Amino acid sequence: MMILSNSIFLPNGMEAIQAEYKEFPLEEFNQNPLIQALPPLLDKATIIRKLMVKPIYNDEEKHAESIYRIHMINRLFQLYTPLPVHIDVWNMIHTLILQGYLARNPFDKNYKKYINDSGKEIINRSYEINSRQNFRTTSSCGTFIGFSGMGKTTTINRVLSDIPQVIIHNEYKGIHFNQIQLVWLKLEAPSNSSLKALCLQFFMKVDELLGTNNYKKYVSRNMSVDSMLPLISQVAHNIGLGLLVIDETQNIKKRGAEQIMNFFVYLINTGINLCLIGTPGAYDLFGKELRMTRRLTGNAEIIYNNMQYGNEFTLLLESVWKYQWTRNFVPYNEEFGKVIYEETQGISDLVIKLFVYSQQQAIENGKEELSIDLIKKVAKEKFRLLQPMLNAIRSGNPHKIAKYEDIRKIELEESDIRKSKELKKEEPVKKKKEDKVKATENIEEPKKKGKRKEYKEDDLRYLLQRGNEEEKSPYQVLLEKEFIEDTSKWIEVEGI
């Protein structure tokens, strides 16, 4: 969190900052209190400085007893070295927040009307996504996808930690303006989580941060995801939410991929900016359609798979190399670089771990210095279970890599894997009613009109078709037919 002199405490004990309005060199920014209260944009050098984290280190520590030095080495897990891709992430996050607020100026008449109307519609339960008339969103979605262990979560946390999260407004340009602004909110999908759990997490995190009681007020346990969505959207507008970040999206239960897609598109279409983070497995959930919108609207997508052997990798490795707690310091040379690359295949997490474990081993075995043989030996022991995955990356063969979901290479264009997978897959479930939720101004899909298709009774598509005719949501249908569990039960068990 930024240390700012103008920080205040909310009644629930959380820290917030009092809005101070800056002048930006862009006129359109200077009409909007939600933008003017944000920190100024920074140049590259400052961004790097802000992102960087160096571990505590001093030469004297080399003389400490080995038992303590082994602990000191663990400080390397705190280290963070900004690489070029992280500047892109920084810029993506800031752009999403700024662009989102541009469309949502609390002093804009159309926007105010939209908020009022949609609030009433929720109360009357007549909320329809297509009912917006005067409000055009500029909201969009950023995606940050990469192999497990590349540092996505760490990077997002570094970037967000420099943006004030809660800002309090009282007066703007001499006008009374009472508003809480939640600049960003980060949710995390726990393993095998449902959309419902994610919705509940949203309400609970907002309440925790702002001391509100949305959860108690609006959310009941047997509420469906479909009915929670408009509420999320309304709450997000009320608290001036700038960006909703959802990490580990690949963990969302895959059974309802279509519903998940609808969920995201709905949020985007109601003016909430999203940043979705995950491993390549997440593409099964939202890949295709979001990428389609991206092409049309210029949404941002950052792909960060394993590093190649080259500048980026060497920069990371050299940035850690100076932190040696072994008695003898061994200078970096290319041979080390090559061996460490070979053993880690440019996965950041493994690079750091290999360097840490090798030093610890060197201290434990009394040799007190790093060597090629030692590094190879440690990699062999510690990464034994990872070998099939690392071999797949080494082979560069997309079919082999595809077997390990999290390290699947994403090709920017349709890859071989996708094509062959699609050939195997059945035609995806057609949808009609849910198209309303999914309806987007951005995606112009050819209308799939036509005759009612005949499916067998146990076919999922038959059930969805029937549900559609009976005006049931796909969620309801799947629940009734026991294709999915009742998430409210699941939530109770999980104690959420």
Ligand X SMILES: Nc1ncnc2c1ncn2[C@@H]1O[C@H](COP(=O)(O)OP(=O)(O)OP(=O)(O)O)[C@@H](O)[C@H]1O
Among 18, 153, 391, 468, binds Mg ion (CB under 5 A): 153
CB 258 within 8 Å of CB 434: yes
The answer to the question of residue 361 lying near ligand X (CB under 6 A) is no
Q: Backbone phi, then psi, for 393, in 5-degree steps?
A: -65, -40
Which parts of 266-339 are beta strand (E)? 274-278, 301-303
Dist CA 291 CA 422 (whole Å): 17
Q: Which does 237 bind (CB under 5 to 8 A by kind): Mg ion, ligand X, none?
A: none
CA distances from 354 to 150, 245, 381 (A): 14, 30, 10
Which residue has the CB atom at the shortest distance from ligand X? Answer: 151
The span of 151-159, 377-385, 394-402, 403-411 binding Mg ion (CB under 5 A) equals 151-159
The answer to the question of residue 153 lying near ligand X (CB under 6 A) is yes
Question: Residue type at 218?
Answer: Y
- Of 83 and 463, the one with the shorter C-beta distance to ligand X is 83
- Of 81 and 233, the one with the shorter C-beta distance to ligand X is 81
Among 148, 212, 440, 487, binds ligand X (CB under 6 A): 148
The answer to the question of residue 149 lying near ligand X (CB under 6 A) is yes
Among 32, 38, 69, 80, binds ligand X (CB under 6 A): 80
For the bound state, the minimum distance from the C-beta of residue 117 to ligand X, rounded and expressed in Å, comes to 39
Dist CA 236 CA 34 (whole Å): 14
CB 168 within 8 Å of CB 180: yes
Helix (H) or strand (E) holding 379: helix 372-382
The answer to the question of residue 281 lying near ligand X (CB under 6 A) is no
Which of 168, 167, 115, 161 has its CA nearest to residue 137?
115
- Of 99 and 154, the one with the shorter C-beta distance to ligand X is 154
CB 462 within 8 Å of CB 452: no
**Torsion sign over Cα 428, 430, 431, 437:** positive
H helix runs in 173-275, sequence order? 195-210, 214-218, 225-238, 257-269
The answer to the question of residue 352 lying near ligand X (CB under 6 A) is yes
- Of 55 and 398, the one with the shorter C-beta distance to ligand X is 55
Residues between 211 and 250 with contacts to ligand X, criterion CB under 6 A = 248
The answer to the question of residue 463 lying near ligand X (CB under 6 A) is no
The span of 94-102, 144-152, 223-231, 474-482 binding ligand X (CB under 6 A) equals 144-152
- Of 78 and 395, the one with the shorter C-beta distance to ligand X is 78
Q: In Å, how far from its chain's centre is CA 332?
A: 35
For the bound state, the minimum distance from the C-beta of residue 277 to ligand X, rounded and expressed in Å, comes to 7
Size of interface with Mg ion, in residues (CB under 5 A): 1
- Of 93 and 232, the one with the shorter C-beta distance to ligand X is 93
For the bound state, the minimum distance from the C-beta of residue 154 to Mg ion, rounded and expressed in Å, comes to 8
Q: In Å, how far from its chain's centre is CA 390?
A: 25
Among 259, 348, 473, 488, binds ligand X (CB under 6 A): 348
Count CA atoms closer than 13 A to 97's CA, side-chain side. Answer: 29
Interaction site with ligand X (CB under 6 A): 77, 79-81, 83, 146, 148-154, 248, 279, 316, 348-349, 352
